[in-house]
Structure 1
């Protein structure tokens, strides 16, 4: 693992599809060192899938990415985040409904917060002019790794459930 590795934590609906798309796009030497499905942003200690799905914990299904910033930037990861899901549906991605499926960026430092807010503002103005971007930008909290069967789920189960709202959209590059 790179000595300058950084973490990025995002929530964009069902974590299986989020993990799958990030690995597909940034894996194989393109900057992604690891990615773990898990839960963050809630109040319950040591949450599990059943508890999170009950809607009582406040956690989001999230992906914690470990990346090499000399290969891929945090900015690139956040722009990709907005291309791979619908940030205009509050607490929902496709048929998946509930707070655990919210769109959120959990920043790990002030620089990540600045970039997340800047990209979110540009995305709202340039890609979603007629809609409201509902993505929450919050400080990273304790990240609880999901159960092992959730890790690499779509790699292990190629015909497994994949949220229909998880795909890469062909938006124009963001301008300054």
Structure 2
């Protein structure tokens, strides 16, 4: 098995985002919490995120970002479904320079075919404050869907 990598995404409600990413082949583990970082000009504050540990020999970082676009509304500023506020904004936290370059390139590609530009911030990852145990794998533990995040299988059906 190759070395695993981390990816961190803000896609609104972290419960639904975690359930969404856990279904993707090559995702080894997930955890939810509030990430902090900087986008070079401001400190965006604490954003609800899912942090994904993945095997890049099975699923690429680029594929995870492609699924990220499909798993939430990247066109909505500080709003996902019923939730609003800067804590539920669309964000990609990068862990490496390569991830930063990929995220910026894939956002530009997304914007080139989108009716409106993504509001998604690309932020240098600084840290993660884990949510408590009851919030980890919440959907799995409670047997119901939370938030308005689709299944990756339905996102990739064409």
Q: Per the shorter chain, which TM-score range?
A: 0.7 to 0.9
SS in 2 for 1:11: strand
Show the counterpart of 1:31: 26
Structure 1 match to 2:105:
118
Q: How many residues align?
A: 150
**Structure 2: runs of 5+ lacking an equivalent:** 39-43
Instruction: Tell me, in whole angstroms, the C-alpha distance in 1 between the residues paired with 2:94 and 2:37.
Output: 15
Look up the match of 2:13.
14
2:127 maps to which residue?
142
State the Cα distance separating 1:37 from its structure 2 match. Answer: 0.4
User: Which aligned pairs between 1:74-93 and structure 2 lie closer than 5 A?
Assistant: 74-93=61-80
Aligned equivalent of 1:73? 60
* RMSD of Structure 2 on Structure 1 (CA): 2.0
**Length-normalised TM-score, structure 2:** 0.88
Structure (1 or 2) with the greater strand fraction: 2
- State the TM-score, normalizing by the size of structure 1: 0.79
- Unpaired runs of 5+ residues, structure 1, are 44-56
What SS does the aligned partner of 1:72 have?
coil
